[in-house]
């Protein structure tokens, strides 16, 4: 099973700040997918195939990486970005998720 | 508009069974692989099971193999998860989700499975 480890577990950021979430895989994966989940809501697809933004995702978000190291970056943090972000892989069954990174507003 | 509506959750005793349903609308259900994903209270996401569009292929995480059965009725646009021999560690909100090129593309609102003694 491919284990995805996200860091940090929690980020506290101010509006306008640049934020980076890292996802490390225990084995190489072809792509990473990111999901956003807000309290009481279902997760939403956010970034697919490592770097492509899902429909409606603001372009202040970006994704990058390869092999075992991937990241999600917010260029300038906004209030609405406070949420939990999960990375996920489709390269090898069982499909696994990272433990999540909680992004809080300062 | 794509809609996925889960039902069937509730409080159950360990060792008993429960059957979850996911009613789909707004898309051609029979064209898409479908998944069940769960989230224990205050925890992260865990993929549980998948089924191919024609139901010819089913896939499970090891911890539920032999206990859970995923199925679908394409004519009724419904996905199911039969859960037998339930354990306390199966406590979670269970989501159904579609699968396309962006990953788990659409999610239902989830149905909660809890345990009573």
> What pLDDT digit, counting tens, does each position of B58-97 carry?
999 999 999 999 999 999 999 999 999 999 999 999 999 9
* Number of CB atoms found within 10 A of residue B82's CB: 14
Contact state of B45 with A48 under an 8 Å Cβ cutoff? no
pLDDT at A16: 97
Among residues B74, B70, B59, B72, the alpha carbon closest in space to that of B29 is found at B74
Q: Inform me whether the C-beta atom of residue B33 falls under 8 Å from chain A C-beta atoms.
A: no
Among residues A75, A27, A23, the alpha carbon closest in space to that of A50 is found at A23
Contacts of A41 (CB under 8 A, 6+ apart): none
- Separation in Å, CA of A45 to nearest CA in chain B: 6
Q: Inform me whether the C-beta atom of residue B46 falls under 8 Å from chain A C-beta atoms.
A: yes
DSSP secondary structure code for residue B42 in this structure: T
pLDDT at B107: 98
pLDDT at B56: 87
Q: Say whether pLDDT at B117 is over 90.
A: no
- Chain B residues near residue A49 by CB distance under 8 angstroms: 101
DSSP class per residue in A57-99: --TTEEEEEETTEEEEEESS--GGG-EEEEEEE-SSSSPEE--
Q: Which comes out higher in pLDDT, residue B115 or A35?
A: A35
For B12-54, what is each residue's pLDDT tens digit? Answer: 999 999 999 999 999 999 999 999 999 999 999 999 999 999 9
Among residues A12, A18, A26, the alpha carbon closest in space to that of A98 is found at A26
pLDDT at A94: 95
Q: Inform me whether the C-beta atom of residue A91 falls under 8 Å from chain B C-beta atoms.
A: no
- Chain A residues near residue B108 by CB distance under 8 angstroms: 42
Task: Please state the rounded mean pLDDT for residues A89-100.
Answer: 96
pLDDT at B55: 85
Contact state of A88 with B104 under an 8 Å Cβ cutoff? yes
Sheet holding B3-7, edge to edge: B3-7, B18-25, B78-83, B68-73
pLDDT at A68: 98
Contact state of B108 with A42 under an 8 Å Cβ cutoff? yes
pLDDT at B52: 95
Q: What is the percent of chain A where pLDDT is above 70? A: 100
């Amino acid at each position: 099973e491919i284990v995805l480890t996200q860091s940090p577990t929690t980020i506290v950021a101010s509006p306008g700040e640049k934020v980076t979430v890292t996802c490390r895989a225990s084995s190489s994966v072809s792509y990473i997918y990111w999901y956003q989940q807000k309290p009481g809501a279902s997760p939403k697809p956010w970034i697919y195939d490592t770097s492509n933004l899902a429909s409606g995702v603001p372009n202040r978000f970006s994704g990058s990486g390869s092999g075992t190291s991937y990241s999600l970056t917010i260029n300038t943090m906004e209030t609405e970005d406070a949420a939990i972000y999960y990375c996920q892989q489709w390269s090898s069954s069982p499909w696994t998720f990272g433990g999540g990174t909680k992004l809080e507003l300062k | 508009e794509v809609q996925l509506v889960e039902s069937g959750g509730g409080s159950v005793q360990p060792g008993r069974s429960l059957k979850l349903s996911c009613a789909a609308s707004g898309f051609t259900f029979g064209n898409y692989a479908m998944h069940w994903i769960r989230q224990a209270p205050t925890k992260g996401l865990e993929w549980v099971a998948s089924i191919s569009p024609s139901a010819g292929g089913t896939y499970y995480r090891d911890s539920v193999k032999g206990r859970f059965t995923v199925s679908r009725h394409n004519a009724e646009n419904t996905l199911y998860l039969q859960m037998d021999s339930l354990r306390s560690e199966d406590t979670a909100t269970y989501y159904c989700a579609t699968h396309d090129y962006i990953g788990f593309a659409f999610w239902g609102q989830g149905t909660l499975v809890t345990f009573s003694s």
